[in-house]
Amino acid sequence: AQSVTQLGSHVSVSEGALVLLRCNYSSSVPPYLFWYVQYPNQGLQLLLKYTSAATLVKGINGFEAEFKKSETSFHLTKPSAHMSDAAEYFCAVSDGNNRLAFGKGNQVVVIP
Amino acid sequence: GAGVSQSPSNKVTEKGKDVELRCDPISGHTALYWYRQSLGQGLEFLIYFQGNSAPDKSGLPSDRFSAERTGGSVSTLTIQRTQQEDSAVYLCASSPPRGSGANVLTFGAGSRLTVL
């Protein structure tokens, strides 16, 4: 079964600094990988997805992620944090059968 | 509708009572999912419906939990004899048919359940 590991439940970043959220996956088949963001009292919103096309995936709000098969990773980055990036971020993996396995999430705090 | 709609948004109940949570998916989406989000636990898969196929119930934590999907559209998640550990946010999601953006789930805002 597929699974995802996200380390560090809370991540603090200064406004204007690099945002880096790490995601490592485990899957017995070529995976589909996703990053979702959840703002307070809202559902999850898709940031970006990897589906075996380009390994560098660009998403909304200036975020991007790079699929590295050799490292089984799909880390999320944004060059310059904005106050509006404060939210919870979830990495997820699917084996193509439409059942997503989510990581425990990273709560991002942006420090002015 | 334009998005996935869930009701109620908040539910407070007493231990031992039954609760029903409703999900109205995006029109045309054949797949529907229920997840549970507990503090610090991430999202826990509960159940998955795909068209007319038998649902994947492998994530339901106990026989107090059940779900149905009527007419391939609206779904109801029922929790019988609620316990305090059932307190969580219950998220519903739907996705299009395979081959047309499948694997991208659109989530509702969730139903927050508090069991006293």
**Mean pLDDT per 10-residue run, chain A (112 residues)?**
87 96 89 92 90 88 94 96 96 81 93 95
Task: Please state the rounded mean pLDDT for residues B98-103.
Answer: 63
B41–A9 CB contact, under 8 Å:
no
**More confident call, B95 vs A20:** A20
DSSP chain A: --EEE---SEEEEETTSPEEE--EEE-SSPPEEEEEEE-TTS-EEEEEEE-SS-SEEE-GGG-EEEEEGGGTEEEEEESS--GGG-EEEEEEEE-SSS-EEE---EEEEEE-
> Six-digit token pair at B18?
């039954």
Q: A5 touching B, CB under 8 A?
A: no
The torsion defined by the Cα of B9, B49, A99 and B101, in degrees rounded to 10, comes to -90
Q: Which chain B residues are within 8 Å of A49, Cβ to Cβ? A: 103-104
Nearest CA in chain A to B39: A104
> Which of A15-19, B16-20, B97-101 is least confident?
B97-101
**Averaged pLDDT of chain B:** 91
Number of other residues whose CB lies within 10 A of the CB of residue A54: 10
pLDDT of residue A64: 97
Q: A84 touching B, CB under 8 A?
A: no
Task: Please state the rounded mean pLDDT for residues B47-51.
Answer: 90
pLDDT of residue A1: 75
d(CA B32, CA B110): 14
Choosing among B105, B106, B111, B112, which should be mutated to test the A contact, i.e. which has the most A CBs within 10 A? Answer: B105
Percent of chain B with pLDDT over 70: 95
pLDDT of B65 over the 60 cut: yes
Number of other residues whose CB lies within 10 A of the CB of residue B36: 22
pLDDT of residue B41: 75
pLDDT of residue B101: 55
- How far from B86 is each of A23, A28, B57, B82, CA to CA, in Å? 28, 32, 17, 6
* A window 27-56, beta carbon within 8 A of B: 32, 34, 36, 41-46, 49, 51
Whose CA is closest to B108, among B96, B95, B93? B93
pLDDT of residue B42: 80
pLDDT of residue B102: 55
Helix (H, G, I), strand (E, B) or coil at B41: coil
B103–A96 CB contact, under 8 Å:
yes
Q: A105 touching B, CB under 8 A?
A: yes
